[in-house]
A and B are shown apart, each in its own frame.
Chain A
């Protein structure tokens, strides 16, 4: 199985901050990576797919980059509604796996 390591696991930030989350794969996955946002009691919401493509309806302050084994999710200016948990998922091969998640909380 491909293992995804997210860092940090917890992040405290203020409204307006630029936030970067990293996801590292245990082996190369090309660009077969997705980023999700999840709020308590809710299903995951797809933000970014193919490592850098913004899902329809997602604000442009979200962006993704990377390929191979290292990927980043960036929120350019954190908004109140962005406080949530963010997870990466690879779809390079079966089984699909997720990173452990990054919880973004209000400072």
Chain B
């Protein structure tokens, strides 16, 4: 059974860079697309962007200037970097796999990142 696990600092200072890793267990990074999502506490979900196992990416234009998503197939991991964070970036961050049907059936449990000094 495929499992995804997000990890990284739970607290980031304003103007610094948020860095998260998603490790895939029980399955391979290839040949899938993988996305990062986020959800501010008590609010709706937002798609951040995706990375293909080949390394190609696509980002939400609302975040494109600040975000980088990458993949490391040797470690079965994908990563998220979001720079110049503000309090508005405080959210639960999730990684998810886009299945062969084109939809996101596997999600990590999520990790809360708080932006605060």
Which A residues are closer than 8 A to B by beta carbons? 1, 32, 34, 36, 42-46, 49-50, 53, 55, 87, 89, 91, 94-101
Asked if residues B109 and A34 are in contact (CB atoms below 8 Å), the reply is no
By DSSP majority rule, is chain A's interface helix, strand, loop, or mixed?
loop
Check if B104 sits within 8 Å of A46, measured CB to CB: yes
Complex contact A99–B44 (CB within 8 A): yes
Q: A87 vs B35: C-alpha distance in the bound complex, in angstroms?
A: 17
Contact with A along B52-69 (1 / 0, CB 8 A): 000000101110000000
Interface of B is mostly: loop
**In the complex, what residues of B have CB within 8 A of residue A97's CB?**
47
B44 lies within 8 A of A95 (CB):
no
Q: A46-B105, A94-B58, A95-B62 are in contact. Are A101 and B47 (CB under 8 A)?
A: no
Given A43-B110, A46-B103: A87 touches B61 (CB 8 Å cut-off): no
A-B contact pairs, 19 of them (CB 8 A): A32-B102, A42-B109, A42-B110, A43-B94, A43-B96, A43-B107, A43-B108, A43-B110, A44-B45, A45-B107, A46-B105, A49-B103, A55-B105, A89-B45, A91-B103, A94-B60, A95-B60, A98-B46, A98-B47
Count of chain B residues near A, Cβ 8 A: 20
Cβ contact within 8 Å between B45 and A50: no
Name the residue of chain A whose CB is nearest to the CB of B49: A95
Q: Which one of A1, A89, A96 has the highest number of Cβ atoms from chain B below 10 Å of its Cβ?
A: A96
Q: Which residues of B contact A (CB under 8 A)?
A: 35, 44-47, 58, 60-62, 94, 96, 101-105, 107-110
Task: Enumerate chain B residues within 8 angstroms of A49, measured Cβ to Cβ.
Answer: 101-103, 105
Q: Are A44 and B62 in contact (CB under 8 A)?
A: no
Q: Within the assembled complex, what's the spacing in Å between the Cα atoms of A50 and B105? A: 12
Q: Are B101 and A87 in contact (CB under 8 A)?
A: no
CB-CB under 8 A from B101, the residues of chain A are 49-50, 53
Q: Specify which of A1, A34, A44, A96 is in contact with B107 (CB 8 Å cutoff).
A: A44
